[in-house]
């Protein structure tokens, strides 16, 4: 997949440790602790969360980046807001498979997972190959990352061949029995976004959903019914659709 064009990395005017301290200070200055309880009700949790809204993080990302080393350091802070900011600062073509795997293991919430996939991971030339690796993993957010990444690629990777998406459908079928909320919703999201690319992929996605509808697992049946409701209700589009909630 061609790497999507992004602004060129800036030359940082201060050492990495100073830049990290400055970025964290900016994040803490914008913290919204009064929002944390409400955010937790939507699954937006994680140790040290500061309560920043995504538009605020995007604005800060434009001020600071791109800066790959700073992105890696922010991710390792473990603060969910800092990790979303990291995904905005990262230079995707510089991400290694080990770094991408490390990121998935450090995810504590669905928004961090999905924003990382949307902002950085899907832009990496290594992204497509990580999907089956993460789909086979057991940790909840590593597995979610596989299918969230597949969903955002279905929307944004306009040049990807239909055959490549068809080849990933067995991963959806295999994971459809996972009852964990944040896994089954990402599996469902990937199936729906693939089905919305065009008529051929919709037919393949509908056929898979119909098989899942006959499965004994409650998660598989939920995925099937939700996907069929959407795929049957609207025509396919090459634009794929928008960014879903969990």
Domain boundaries along the sequence of the chain: 13-90, 110-246
The pLDDT of residue 14 is 87
Residue 13 clears pLDDT 80, i.e. is over it: no
Of 102-111, 190-199, 225-234, 235-244, the one with minimum mean pLDDT is 235-244
Residue 150 has pLDDT above 90, yes or no: yes
Q: What is the pLDDT of residues 108-136, one digit of tens each?
A: 999 999 999 999 999 999 999 999 999 99
pLDDT tens by residue, 182-215: 999 999 999 999 999 999 999 999 999 999 999 9
Question: Quick one: pLDDT at residue 158?
Answer: 94
CA distance 208 to 204: 6
Helix, coil or strand: residue 73: helix
pLDDT at 8 over 80: no
Rounded Cα distance, 147 and 144, in Å:
5
Cα torsion through 180, 186, 187, 190, rounded to 10: 180
- Which CATH class, in words, describes the domain spanning 110-246? mainly alpha
Q: 1: pLDDT confidence band, cut at 50, 70 and 90?
A: very low
Residue from 85, 88, 69 nearest 24 by CA: 85
- Check pLDDT > 70 for residue 138: yes
pLDDT band at 65 (very low <50, low <70, confident <90, very high): confident
Assign 4 to helix, strand or coil. coil
Within 10 angstroms of residue 60's Cβ, the number of other Cβ atoms is: 20
Is residue 3's pLDDT more than 50?
no
Instruction: Give pLDDT, residue 232.
Output: 83
């Amino acid at each position: 997949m061609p790497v999507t064009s992004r602004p060129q990395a800036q030359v940082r005017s201060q050492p990495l440790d100073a830049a990290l301290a400055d970025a964290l200070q900016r994040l803490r200055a914008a913290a919204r602790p009064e929002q944390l309880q409400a955010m937790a009700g939507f699954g937006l949790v994680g140790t040290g969360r500061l309560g920043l809204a995504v538009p605020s993080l995007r604005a800060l990302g434009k001020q600071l980046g791109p800066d790959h080393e700073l992105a890696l350091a922010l991710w390792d802070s473990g603060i969910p807001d800092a990790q979303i900011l990291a995904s905005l600062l990262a230079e995707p073509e510089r991400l290694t498979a080990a770094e991408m795997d490390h990121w998935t293991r450090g995810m504590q919430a669905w928004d961090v997972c999905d924003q990382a996939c949307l902002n950085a991971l899907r832009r990496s030339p290594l992204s497509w190959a990580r999907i089956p690796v993460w789909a086979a993993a057991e940790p909840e957010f590593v597995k979610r990352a596989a299918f969230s990444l597949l969903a955002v690629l279905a929307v944004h990777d306009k040049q990807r061949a239909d055959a490549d998406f068809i080849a990933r459908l067995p991963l959806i079928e295999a994971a459809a029995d996972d009852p964990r909320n944040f896994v089954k919703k990402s599996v469902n999201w990937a199936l729906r976004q693939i089905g919305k690319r065009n008529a051929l992929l919709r037919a393949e996605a509908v056929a898979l959903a119909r098989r899942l509808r006959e499965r004994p697992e409650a998660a598989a049946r939920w995925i099937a019914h939700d996907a069929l409701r959407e795929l049957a209700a609207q025509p396919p589009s090459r634009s794929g659709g928008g960014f879903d909630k969990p």
